[in-house]
Amino acid sequence: MTHEVAAASQPFVMDTTFWTATTIFLISYVVIISEKVHKTVVALFAASLMLVLKILSQYEAFHVEELGVDWNVIFLLIGMMIIINLMRPTGFFEYIAIKSAKAGKGDPMRIMIIFAVVTAVLSALLDNVTTVLLLAPVTLLIADALEVDPIPFLIVEAIASNIGGTATLIGDPPNIMIASKAKLNFMDFIYNLTPIVIVLMVVLLLVIKLVFGRKLKTREELKQRIMQMNEKEAIKDPLMLKKSLFVLGLVLVGFVFHGTLELQPATVALFGAGLLLLLSGTHEPHHVLAEVEWPTIFFFIGLFILVGGVVKVGLIKWMSLKMLALTQGNLLATSMIVMWFSAIASAIVDNIPYVATMNPLIIDMAKQMWPQETGLALLRHPDLMPIWWSLALGACLGGNGSPIGASANVIVVGMAEKAGQKISFMRFVAYGFPIMLLTVFISMIYVWLRYYVLNF
Amino acid sequence: MKAKDIMEPVKETLTPETTLKEAVNSMRVARRGDGRVGVKGMIVLDNGKLAGIISIKDILKAIIPSYMTLTELGEFTWDGMLEQMAKKVADRKVEEIMTRNVITVSEDAPLMECADLVVKHGLHRLPVLDRDKKVVGMVYIRDLYQAIVQALFEKGGKR
C-alpha cells in the first residue's frame, strides 16, 4: 500500500519565520545534548524566544492543544509527584525493599531477581526516577551487608525500571506524552504494551541468571545480617501509610476506568493528590509542594512551546514528508524505522524532547496518509496504532542503551558515585546496550507478529 | 584578653594527601596542652596554607555510607558494620573528607568573638591566623571556658 504524497502539494513556505524557528529549535537541542546549560533553562529560554519573536502567540502556547503546553502531561506528572512525596516519609518503600531482600533469604542471586521484579512493577505504577531513588539506597546497604559488588545490582535495577516503565500509561514520560497526544487510555497500554513487557522481563531475568549465575556468592553468616533485619521498623507512620495506600489504590482503579468514566488521566492524578493532601491533615503543604520536581515540569512546559513553534512553521510537516518519502507509506516499514530510530536516539539523547518532536511528526504523517480522517478517527486510526506502540517501545527501551539514556540510569550512576562506587560509561554500556538490542529486537518481532501478521 | 593570649601552639598538622588511616594514627598519638590531653581534631596544611580541618566528627561522617544519610535506614544496620565501613574508607585521602570552610580568628580577636563563633557554628576549636594568614595557634572551647572560670573565681571574680 503506497500513499503517494499528494498532501505534499499543501503549501508551506520556507520563509524567515520558518528558518528562525528551525534555528532556535536546532540550537536548543544541540545545547540540551551538550549539557553545557541545564536543559530546563535551555527549554524555557528557547520557548520564550518563540513567543517574543511572535513565531507562536501566547494564546497558542497556553491554550491550543496542537501547538502549546500539554497540560494533561503537566498535571498528571504533578499529581503523581505530590502523591509520592506524601507517601515517601511513611517508610513504605524501605519496607518493601527489606522485605524483598529477606524473601530472597539473603542469597545475592535471588535478591537481584526479586529486586528486578519489584523495580519493574513499581516503575510501571510510579515513575522510574522515584522507584530507583527509593530502592538504590537499600540496594547499596544490602550489597554492603552481603559484601558483594553493588554495581551489577544497581545497573540491573535501572534496566528493570526502564523495561517496567514501558508497560503502562503512567510508567514512563514518553508513554504519558504519547497517550495524551494520541488520546490513548490506560487500558490501551495494558492490552498492547504490558504483555510484551512481561515477556521482556522474563528474558531479562534469564539473562541475569545466565550472566551472574554462580558468580554472585556470599557467606552464610553474612546472610544472617539480612535475615535479622526487621522490615516493620521501616514503617514510620502507619496511619499515613494506610491513607497513602488507599489513595494510591483509588488512583490506580481510576486509571483503569478513566476511559469508561471519561476522565482524563491528569484528572485522576490531581484528584488523588488533592484527596491525599486533605487526608494527611497537613497545615503546611509547602514542603510537599516544593518537592515536586519543578525543573522537570518546566522542562516539559518549555519543550512543548519550543516544539509548538516548529510545528506551526511547518518544520515538523517537512520532516514527516521526508519520512513518508523514505518509507513510501509502507506501514510495517514505518513501524520498524520508528522503533529502531527511537531506540538509538533515546540511548543517546533524552527521550522526552525526542518524543515531544516525534508525536506531532507522526500526527502530520497520519494526516497525509488519511487526509479524509480527522479527530479521534485519525489519531486512533487502526493502521496508526502499531506506530504509536513502536514509538513507545523504542523510546522507553532505548533508554537502557547508555548511562545517559534515561533518568533512572543517571540517578543510579550518581548514587553509586556518591557511595564511592564509580560506574564508568562503558561499564553501563556493557550491560545496557546488549539488553537494549535484545529487548528492541524482541519488541520488533512482537509488533510485526501481532499487528501485521496476526492482526489483533 | 585576646585569642593570642589563650591559644595553644599547633604541633602536628596533616597534609591533604594523608590517608584517613594515617590521620587517625596522628590524632591517636598527638598530645596537646600539658601533654595529657588527646587531640580530637587537626588542621590540614597545603604548602603551609590552611586547606581544611578534620575532626573525629568528619571521620564519623566519612565512615557512614552516603546511602544512609539519604534515607532512614538506621534500623537496618548490623553488628560490625561500623568497623567494616571504617576499613573500607581507610585509604581515602584527608582532602576528601576534611571540612574545607574553616572558621578561623585573627590573633587579636577578643575572646567574645571566639566564644560567639564556637557557639554559632558548633565548634570545638578555632585556628588562629596571623596577618599573613598563617596558622599560629589554636583556641579550644576548653580554654575559653577556662577564661570564664578565671573571671569568676580568680582575679576580678572575688567580691
Does A19 map to a domain?
Answer: yes
Residue pair A302/A47 in contact (Cβ under 8 Å)? The answer is yes
Beta-carbon separation of B65 and A91 below 8 A: no
Residue A317: its pLDDT value, please?
86
- Residue in chain B closest to A222 (alpha carbons) equals B78
Cross-chain Cβ contact B72/A94 below 8 Å? yes
Chain segment A246-296, per-residue pLDDT in tens: 999 999 999 999 988 989 999 999 999 999 999 999 888 998 999 888 998
Domain ends where: A257, A290, A323?
A290
The 3-state DSSP class for residue B8 equals strand
Nearest CA to A320 out of A346, A344, A338 is that of A338
Q: Do A88 and A219 lie in a common domain?
A: yes
Nearest to B76 among A147, A229, A418 (CB): A229
A48/A99 same-domain check: no
| Residue A258 and residue A142 in one domain | yes
Number of domains within chain B:
1
* B43 bridge partner residues: B53
Same domain, residue pair A193 and A258: yes
Residue A409 in contact with residue A355, Cβ under 8 Å? no
Give residue-wise pLDDT tens across range A353-373. Answer: 899 999 999 998 999 889 888
- In a domain, residue B159? The reply is no
Give B130-135 contacts, CB < 8 A, sequence gap 24+.
Answer: B130/B106, B131/B106, B133/B49, B133/B50, B134/B48, B134/B49, B135/B10, B135/B13, B135/B43, B135/B45, B135/B50
User: B96 CB contacts (<8 Å, ≥6 apart)?
Assistant: B62
Domain total in chain A = 2
CB burial class (10 A; 0-12, 13-18, 19+) of residue A361? buried
Q: Which three cell numbers stand for residue B65?
A: 555510607
pLDDT confidence of residue B156: 55
Q: Which residues of A touch B63 (CB under 8 A)?
A: none
Tell me which chain B residues have a C-beta less than 8 angstroms from the C-beta of A134: 71
Q: Does one domain contain both A274 and A148?
A: yes
Residues of chain A in contact with residue B78, where contact means CB-CB under 8 angstroms, are 145, 225, 228
State in Å, rounded, how far the first CA of chain A is from the last one.
Answer: 19
* Cβ-contact A296, A416 below 8 angstroms: no
Task: Kindly state whether residue A66 falls inside one of the protein's structural domains.
Answer: no
Domain range for residue B28?
Answer: 3-153
Dist CA A431 CA A152 (whole Å): 9
Q: How far apart are CA A414 and CA A429, in angstroms?
A: 16
* Helix H or strand E encompassing B106: strand B105-106
Q: Does pLDDT of A10 surpass 80? A: no
C-alpha B33, offset from chain centre? 15
Asked if the C-beta of B68 comes within 8 angstroms of chain A's C-beta atoms, the answer is yes
Q: What is the pLDDT of residues A42-96, one digit of tens each?
A: 999 999 999 999 999 999 999 998 899 999 999 999 999 999 999 988 999 999 9
H and E: helices and strands count for chain A: 23, 0
Q: Which of A341, A332, A170 is nearest to A258 (CA)?
A: A170
Q: Is the pLDDT of residue A213 over 90?
A: no
B16 touches A at CB < 8 Å: no
Best probe of the A interface among B20, B71, B85, by most A CBs < 10 A, is B71
Q: Is residue B158 part of a domain?
A: no
Tell me the chain A residues in contact with residue B89 when contact means C-beta distances shorter than 8 Å. 420
Predicted TM-score of the model (pTM): 0.84
Mean pLDDT across chain B? 90
Last residue in a domain, options A260, A290, A320: A290
Residue bearing the bigger pLDDT, B45 or A323? B45
B67–A140 CB contact, under 8 Å: yes
Substitution target from B20, B61, B64, B67 for chain A, most A beta carbons within 10 A = B67
pLDDT, tens digit (0-9, with 9 covering 90-100), for B24-67 = 999 888 887 677 777 889 999 999 899 999 999 999 999 999 88
Q: Quick check: helix, strand or coil at residue B38?
A: strand
Residue A9 lies in a domain: no
Is some CB atom of chain A closer than 8 A to the CB atom of B71? Answer: yes
- Cell triple for B123: 565548634
CA atoms of A134 and A243, how far apart (whole Å): 20
Compute the mean pLDDT over every residue in chain A, rounded to the nearest whole number.
Answer: 90
DSSP H or E run through A155: helix A150-165
Residues A277, A190 share a domain: yes
**CB < 8 Å to B68, chain A:** 137, 141
Give the gap in angstroms from C-alpha B76 to the nearest C-alpha of chain A: 6
Q: Do A234 and B85 touch (CB under 8 A)?
A: no
Amino acid at A50: M
Domain of B56, CATH number, reads 3.10.580.10
Whether residue A173 is found in the same domain as residue A48: no
**Is the domain of A105 the same as that of A148?**
yes
Of B73, B78, B81, the CB nearest to A138: B73
Residue B127 lies in a domain: yes
Q: Do residue A419 and residue B66 have CB atoms under 8 angstroms apart?
A: yes
- Here the cell at position A152 is 551489577
One domain for residues A21 and A163: no
Q: Where is the domain boundary, A235, A264, A290? A: A290
Q: What is the nearest CA distance from A140 to chain B, expressed in angstroms?
A: 7
Sign of CA dihedral A115, A119, A121, A126: positive
Q: Categorize the per-residue pLDDT at B155 as very low, low, confident or very high, splitting at 50, 70 and 90.
A: low
Q: What is the mean pLDDT of residues A197-215?
A: 91
Its domain, for residue A170, covers: 73-290
Within a 13 Å sphere around the CA of A281, how many CA atoms are in the beta-carbon half?
A: 3
